[in-house]
Structure 1
C-alpha cells in the first residue's frame, strides 16, 4: 500500500463502495459474491429505498439525519446498511444481536428511531411501548428484495464529512447504554488508518466474525473496502466454523477477541486453514505471553497485531508485530491519525515510565454522546495544550504509561466498568436487573479476573425477604432479562453488605475479597 498522507481529506462514508475495481470481489455471502460494481449498485438501491421509507414515516419530510436502527442477522443487509444509510443522508444505529428487550427498548427510545429493521423473532420480543410511535418497523426478510426492485439507485453522496453517520451504543459505568456519535470523517479515516497499518491489499480476504455493532467488527468491512479487498461476513456457532471458513475462502486476515482466540488455539488447525493467513489481530482485551506464544505457534506464517482502543476514539494504538514476542504486555504506539498523550492528574505531560491518564486526540475522536451533554462533558474535553491537534479529546479514564523507548503500557481503568469477552458492561445495568426482581435488597456487580473472559461478572447480593426463594429464582430471572455476556458467572449471597467510612457499600473491599477467593 502506498504511503499514507499526513492529513488526507476525509470523504463521505458511502464512497468506500467505490474503492475497488469493478470486477473485483467485495463481499462473499452464502448466496454468492458481490463485486465492487454490484456493491455500489446495491448500496445505491438500498439508500433510495431507505430514504423512501423514512420519508413515509416523516409524512413527506426529507428525513435527513433520521436514525435507522438495525437488529438483524449478519449478512448482506447488515453489511450494506452502514454505507446505504450514509448515502441516503441517514444515521445508522446497529444493535448488538445479543442484547435483549430492555436494552433494545432503551436504544430505540433514546435514539428516537425513525425506522427499525429486524427479524421476526427479535421484533416479537419487544412489548407495547418499547417502540417509539413515529418508528416504522420492517422485517428484514423482505428488505433486500424490496430495495433491489425499488428503482433508481442514489449516486455517491456529497455529504459533509463532519455530518453524523452512525451512533454506536456502548455500556457506560453508570446505567443504560450511551450512544457514541461517529461522523463520516471518523469512520472514513478509521478505515484508512487500519487498512494502512495492517498493510491490506486488494487481494486480501477478511473474515468478519465480530458483530457489526462493535466499532472493531464494523471496521473489518470498512477497512477491507478502503483497500479494495474482499470481506466475508460470518456468524459462527462453533470455533470449527471459523476454521472451515478460512479453508473455504482462503482467508488472509482474521480478527478476534481474547476469549475467541482461547477457543481457536485449542482447535486442530490443518495447514490448509492457516497457509493463506497473512495477519491476525486482537483487541477488546490484552493477550498474555502464553497466548501470544500459542498464536505464533498456531499461525506461524502470520503477523500478529495487538491493538487497544475505545469506541469514543475508535482505535488508539497497535503494537508492531516485530515487537509482540519481546514486548507482549505493551499496547504499542498510536495508530495513524491518533495522538496519544499520558497526562498527570495536574494536567501536565507525564515523564517516561510515569503513570497518568491516557488521552486520545485527533480526527478519530468521536463527536460525543448522543443527546447527553452531561456525560459528553465528562469524557470529551479540550485537548491538553501539548496536543498538536488541539480541539476536543477523549479523556479515557484509563491509566497508562509510556516507556523511554516510546511504547505504551496499559495499567488499569479508573472507573468500575467490567470488560468481559470484549464487551464493556455497566455494573449498574446488572445491579438494576437484580433489584428489579424484588428478590434482593442490595446488589453489587463486579469484574473478577478470569483467564478466558478477561473479567467475569460476579454479583454480590443481600436477599429481600425469603432468602431460599431468592437463591432459587434469581438466576433464572436474570437469564431471561440480561444478555448472555452480562450474566453473572457467580452470585454471592450476604446477610449484610460491608460499608466504607463514607457510609457507602465498600465496593473496593468486596472486589478484593472476590479476587482473593477466586481460583
Structure 2
C-alpha cells in the first residue's frame, strides 16, 4: 500500500526512525520525537473524549512554543482540522473566526484567556477550552498539563488524505479574513516540493522566529517533522543578537527570514562575515527582498545558500530562485517549485510573451481547495484548469517573465498607483529607496492629490537619523523616471504590518486617513 500522506503520520514515522532525537526546542524545553509523539497522542485522546470528531475545527491560539507544536499534531491525530491563530489577535477577530468555522474547541494559554472569553461570548459552537499554564481546572477551562499527564492513545478516526488538515485565515486586503482550506494531500505536496529544492536533511537544525499561525512559519514545523530535523522555536526576532547567540549554541543550519528580519540584521553594527559558521542556508519569503538587501546578506554570509521565494497562503509556496542565479537575476523570485507550474496571463486568461506584465497563475497539487464557505471569493481565485477536474490559482499579483522564464514580481493588482496618467508599481520605487544609504525599510503608497489624482508617497524607517526628505527624493530622481519619484517622504519608527509581520500598504493607507 502507498505510504500515508496524512500530516500526523509524518510525526509517527519520524518518531519510529528518530525517537531519541530532539524534535523541538522552545523556551528552555527540549522534546524528542518520541516525546512529541507521546504528548500529542495524550492530548488527542483528551480532545476525542471531550467530543471532537473527524473534520471538526479546533483553534490553536498560542505563542510559538512546544505546547503549540504538541497541539497541532494532537488535533490532527484526533482527525480534526487545526486553525492556527496569531497570539496577538484581538477578541473581535478571534470571535469572527470562531463563528465562521464553527470551532468546536480552542487550545490556548492562561495569559490569553481574557481574549478567548471575550471572543467566545457569541460563539455557540465552542464546547470547551484547554489552556496551558492555567493551573487548576475550572468549569470553563481544562488544564493543558492535566491533558498530557497520563499516557493515552487516540481512537482511529477513519480520515483520509483528502480531509482538510488546516484552515489559515488570511488578513485580506478588504473585508473580513478568509479561511484558506488545505487538505493533507495539499500539505504533503507543498512540504515535499519545498524540502526537495532546499535540499533539507535530517541533520538540519532550523531556527524559526516566524509565527506558527503564519503559513511560512507553520511549514517550518511541518517540514522539520517530515524529514526528522530539529526545529528551534523563538517567539520573536526583536533581539537578533540573542537569536544569533542561540543559533551558535544550537549550531543552527537553516534560518527562514522575512524582509523585516533582514532589515534588522543589516542594522547590526558589529556583525562580521562568517558569524554563524554552521549556517547552511537562508530562505526569504512573504515579500521579495530588495536587491541591495540580497547583496548585503550575501556579503555577511558568503558561504550560505540564499533562497529568494514567492508564495501565498493559498499555495504556501509558488516559486524559488536557485541560489546560483542570484548573481545574474537578483530581482527575480525564480521559477515554479518542483512538481508545479507558474505562468503569466493577460486579462483574457491567455499566456503572455516574455517581458509582458500580467497576472501570475499557479498550478499544482499544493493549490488550496478554496476559501471556507465563501463560494464567490473561491470562484475569483480558483478557475478551471487544463484538466477537467483541476482548478488553477489566480494570485492577483502582477508579474513578468524574462526570456529564460524567470519570474519577477511587479505589484499586487490593486497596489498600482495611477499618477499623471502613468502607472507606478510601488515595488520598483521601494527597490530604489532600499538602495539609498541610511534607509532601513521603505513602503510606497498612493495618496490623494488634487492635481495628480494620486501622488507617490514614501514611508521610510531610517538607519541614519540625519537622512533628510530632500536627500531621499534626490536619490530617487537619479534612478527613476520623473513620474515615479516620491512627491513626499514620511519618516516613521516602524512600518505598518499584518499579524504575520509583512508590511501592509492597506494598513499604511488607513493610518494616513486616520491622521488626515
The counterpart of 2:353, out of the listed 328, 335, 351, is 351
Change (3 A) 1:14 1:456: farther
Structure 1 residue 110: Cα displacement: 1.0
1:202 aligns with 202
Where does structure 1 differ by over 4 angstroms across 4 or more consecutive aligned residues?
Answer: 128-131, 155-158, 270-273, 446-454, 456-461, 482-490, 492-495
Q: Distance in 2 between matches of 1:25 and 1:156?
A: 27
**For the Cα contact (< 8 Å) 2:273–2:300, is it kept in 1?**
no
Q: Give SS of 1:274's match.
A: coil
Q: Distance in 1 between matches of 2:508 and 2:356?
A: 35
Superposition map of 1:140-151 within 5 A: 140-141=132-133, 143-151=143-151
Unaligned runs of 5+ in 2: 135-142, 418-425, 435-439, 450-495
Q: Distance in 2 between matches of 1:327 and 1:130?
A: 52
**Is 1:133 equivalent to 2:133 in the alignment?**
no
Superposition map of 1:444-455 within 5 A: 451=434, 452=440, 455=443
Q: Distance in 1 between matches of 2:366 and 2:231?
A: 23
Q: Distance in 2 between matches of 1:454 and 1:233?
A: 28
**For the Cα contact (< 8 Å) 1:244–1:273, is it kept in 2?**
no
**Is 1:22 equivalent to 2:19 in the alignment?**
yes
Q: Deviations over 1:148-184 (max 9, x none)?
A: 2244223787631110111000022220111101111
Structure 1 residue 453: Cα displacement: 5.2
Unaligned runs of 5+ in 1: 1-7, 56-62, 419-445, 462-478, 496-519
Structure 1 residue 333: Cα displacement: 0.6
Q: Give SS of 2:23's match.
A: strand
TM-score (norm 2): 0.77
Superposition map of 1:7-406 within 5 A: 11-17=5-11, 18-19=13-14, 20-55=17-52, 63-125=53-115, 127=118, 130-135=121-126, 136-141=128-133, 143-154=143-154, 159-236=159-236, 237-267=238-268, 268-269=270-271, 273-383=275-385, 385=386, 391-406=390-405
Structure 1 residue 104: Cα displacement: 1.4
Change (3 A) 1:459 1:250: farther
Moved more, 296-305 or 121-130: 121-130
Q: Distance in 2 between matches of 1:150 and 1:365?
A: 39
Change (3 A) 1:158 1:252: farther
TM-score (norm 1): 0.76
**For the Cα contact (< 8 Å) 2:58–2:81, is it kept in 1?**
yes
Change (3 A) 1:156 1:197: farther
Q: Deviations over 1:79-124 (max 9, x none)?
A: 1222221111111011112222222121111111111222233331
Change (3 A) 1:137 1:38: closer
2:480 aligns with none
